[in-house]
A and B are shown apart, each in its own frame.
Chain A
């Protein structure tokens, strides 16, 4: 069945990879890009629409039968263009719009438009924390009160030396540790500085663990 996707180029290799993945999954892809980048995509089986000034966006959208577009990925480095296009596409009934933004304020605007948000500022922060082994915690909701906690164990952590078994029994969560790119699951392993802890369990338990860590 015909499935179409619209992608706004981010001027990096990410768009090339994403376009490839979409094509592999049977999408007919409409890429909006700058003329200087167009040749880079000629080997891909996609429609290439050239973006001039902002007024050309409306012309390009009128060229595409948006009723077939299942998903739009707005990856451009310009948050304003991403949000403007997201608004236009949502108004025209595109069911799923994914917007790349930088910062919580823009992310909130995108969410209000009914778009899925990829907040680059969050990813940059996380990556820097990991690279420099800075204290880091993150809780991701999974389903109905069940969450995943990711935490980098630093030298001043209060749970340093505790075993996985101790923590699992005390906090009612399933825990694994990533140590030097190896997965450690042995319940009797004691936590060391530099370990990356992953725990899955009820949000209340994870908050408790976080507070005491």
Chain B
């Protein structure tokens, strides 16, 4: 019997790039104000640290991704070097961040949407959680319909984002003249409130890059497309993020920022010469869309990870069922949708937000370590091979060093919330034990 129960290979390099980039870039957009609030005159240096860390993570994923053509991302990378159990635990922890991204991406979009409509005296008259649930439903529908449809939406949002950030924000600021005196620019003498906190936040500034590995199973030529997409992401995100940081430190007085750091991008738009009013509306719309796009990538990444773990018989087999027409793992998507609604229902819970990205960092560290072990473990060939230092890939060395620093900083600052990962991990281990004997057969 002819079967069509595998994922459709429909993504090109641009599709992979926008899906992963939107997710990671949205995190920096939201954290920039807080990083600046705590780093003061050292904000630019902290931003450089964030960009270096992002580069190390992206290169590790790029090099690993150039060897593995399947979906599953970090799970299959870590499994290859350290075995399925560590791979599973790592993937399970990462899945929590993906779920948080879906729920809080839609929730934050809803909050922004209502706030902007209020600015124009429009009251939706609907609770925020309901708006978030509607947005989550829309995203679920798009991801259900196909990976190509999801990529097209992400591409449209990424294009709009760059059209707003580059010509509307960056160009007028450059034309009006910026004080190019790093590292403090116009913030000389602004004492950092907490450099440790700023660095800890910066360590999590580009969370979401891992989705690039989940997309390999739907890429036409993953061994070359994944590293190419990675390089474009590094260039684009470094340029946009550092540019916005420079503009922030030139145009927005620290005192103004400290009043509402969550609105850093809007403050930049407001202070942009020539286009201030228009820019605010555009940036506000952009924030909503980029958050939605991040949530969209969360849907894609979570469902593909669940699909792969199910294929590996580590989660119940029905999670690997693929829709015969749309060729998407629709049961895993339905589970992601239901879980997103459960997370959205109580509104934003600060303790969940605080734990966000810690598990991702641990996952990224394991991916970098896996890369170091890749050649010692076997003879897999890939499309991207970084230079070697003492026989180890330089990307892996960079990754292990920088991500270890990031984890240490995050733990120093967030040690009191790490326990939240405990119940999630316990649930994962119970499922693992259950599946060892029961998750067999075909989906």
Q: Which residue of B lies closest to A67 (CB)?
A: B313
- The B-contacting residues of A in range 31-72, CB under 8 angstroms, are 35, 38, 42-52, 56, 59-60, 62-63
With A1-B5, A28-B69, A46-B69 as contacts: A56 and B379 at CB distance below 8 Å? yes
A48–B381 contact, CB under 8 A? Answer: yes
Docked Cα-Cα span, A59 to B378, in Å, equals 7
Pick the contact of B443 from A1, A3, A47, A59 — CB < 8 Å?
A1
B5–A63 contact, CB under 8 A? Answer: no
Inside 8 A of A46's CB, which chain B residues have their CB?
Answer: 69, 223
B73 to chain A, nearest CB (A): 15
Pick the contact of A45 from B4, B220, B379, B442 — CB < 8 Å?
B220
A42–B380 contact, CB under 8 A? Answer: no
B223–A45 contact, CB under 8 A? Answer: yes
Report A88-112 CB contacts with B as 1/0, cut-off 8 Å: 0000000000000000000000000
Q: Which 5 A-B pairs have the closest CB atoms?
A: A26-B6, A48-B381, A63-B378, A45-B69, A2-B311
B361 to chain A, nearest CB (A): 28
Inside 8 A of B69's CB, which chain A residues have their CB?
Answer: 28, 44-47
Inside 8 A of A47's CB, which chain B residues have their CB?
Answer: 67-69, 380
Report A1-12 CB contacts with B as 1/0, cut-off 8 Å: 111000000000
B168 within 8 A of A: no
Inside 8 A of A3's CB, which chain B residues have their CB?
Answer: 6
Instruction: Output the residue of B70, B219, B379, B382 with the most chain A CB within 10 A.
Output: B379
B294 within 8 A of A: no
For B, the interface residue count at a CB cutoff of 8 angstroms equals 29
- The A-contacting residues of B in range 386-443, CB under 8 angstroms, are 442-443
16 residue pairs from A and B, CB less than 8 Å apart: A1-B5, A1-B442, A35-B381, A38-B381, A42-B224, A44-B223, A45-B9, A45-B219, A45-B222, A49-B378, A49-B379, A50-B380, A50-B381, A59-B378, A60-B379, A62-B378
Give the secondary structure class of A's interface: mixed
B62 to chain A, nearest CB (A): 14
Number of A-B contacts (CB under 8 A): 69
Q: Which residue of B lies closest to A33 (CB)?
A: B381
B378–A60 contact, CB under 8 A? Answer: yes
Docked Cα-Cα span, A51 to B383, in Å, equals 17
Docked Cα-Cα span, A1 to B310, in Å, equals 10
Docked Cα-Cα span, A203 to B289, in Å, equals 71
B225 to chain A, nearest CB (A): 9
Docked Cα-Cα span, A52 to B377, in Å, equals 15
Inside 8 A of B70's CB, which chain A residues have their CB?
Answer: 28
Report A178-208 CB contacts with B as 1/0, cut-off 8 Å: 0000000000000000000000000000000
B320 within 8 A of A: yes
Give the secondary structure class of B's interface: loop
B182 to chain A, nearest CB (A): 40
Inside 8 A of B379's CB, which chain A residues have their CB?
Answer: 49-52, 56, 59-60, 63
Docked Cα-Cα span, A43 to B381, in Å, equals 12
Docked Cα-Cα span, A35 to B221, in Å, equals 19
B379 to chain A, nearest CB (A): 4
B325 within 8 A of A: no
Besides A45-B9, A52-B379, A62-B378, 13 new A-B residue pairs in contact (Cβ under 8 A), listed by A number? A2-B312, A3-B6, A35-B381, A42-B223, A43-B221, A44-B221, A47-B67, A47-B68, A47-B69, A48-B380, A50-B379, A59-B379, A63-B379
Q: Which residue of A lies closest to B216 (CB)?
A: A45
Q: Which residue of A lies closest to B382 (CB)?
A: A48
Q: Which residue of B lies closest to A60 (CB)?
A: B379
Report B7-30 CB contacts with A as 1/0, cut-off 8 Å: 001000000000000000000000
Docked Cα-Cα span, A1 to B6, in Å, equals 6
A40 to chain B, nearest CB (A): 11
Inside 8 A of B4's CB, which chain A residues have their CB?
Answer: 26
Docked Cα-Cα span, A2 to B429, in Å, equals 23
Docked Cα-Cα span, A44 to B69, in Å, equals 8
Inside 8 A of B220's CB, which chain A residues have their CB?
Answer: 45
Docked Cα-Cα span, A3 to B378, in Å, equals 22
Q: Which residue of A lies closest to B322 (CB)?
A: A1
A48–B443 contact, CB under 8 A? Answer: no
A42–B68 contact, CB under 8 A? Answer: no
Q: Which residue of A lies closest to B8 (CB)?
A: A26
Report A139-177 CB contacts with B as 1/0, cut-off 8 Å: 000000000000000000000000000000000000000
A57 to chain B, nearest CB (A): 10
Inside 8 A of A48's CB, which chain B residues have their CB?
Answer: 223, 380-382
Inside 8 A of A56's CB, which chain B residues have their CB?
Answer: 379
Inside 8 A of B320's CB, which chain A residues have their CB?
Answer: 1-2
Inside 8 A of A43's CB, which chain B residues have their CB?
Answer: 221, 223-224
Report B51-81 CB contacts with A as 1/0, cut-off 8 Å: 0000000000000000111100000000010
A161 to chain B, nearest CB (A): 45
Docked Cα-Cα span, A51 to B381, in Å, equals 10
Docked Cα-Cα span, A48 to B219, in Å, equals 16
Q: Which residue of B lies closest to A51 (CB)?
A: B379
A63–B221 contact, CB under 8 A? Answer: no
A26–B377 contact, CB under 8 A? Answer: no
Docked Cα-Cα span, A47 to B76, in Å, equals 12
Docked Cα-Cα span, A59 to B216, in Å, equals 25
Pick the contact of A63 from B9, B219, B223, B377 — CB < 8 Å?
B377
Inside 8 A of A63's CB, which chain B residues have their CB?
Answer: 80, 377-380
Inside 8 A of B224's CB, which chain A residues have their CB?
Answer: 42-43
B219–A1 contact, CB under 8 A? Answer: no
Docked Cα-Cα span, A23 to B218, in Å, equals 12
- The A-contacting residues of B in range 208-227, CB under 8 angstroms, are 216, 219-224
A49–B6 contact, CB under 8 A? Answer: no
Inside 8 A of A52's CB, which chain B residues have their CB?
Answer: 379
Inside 8 A of B9's CB, which chain A residues have their CB?
Answer: 23, 45
With A43-B224, A44-B221 as contacts: A49 and B380 at CB distance below 8 Å? yes
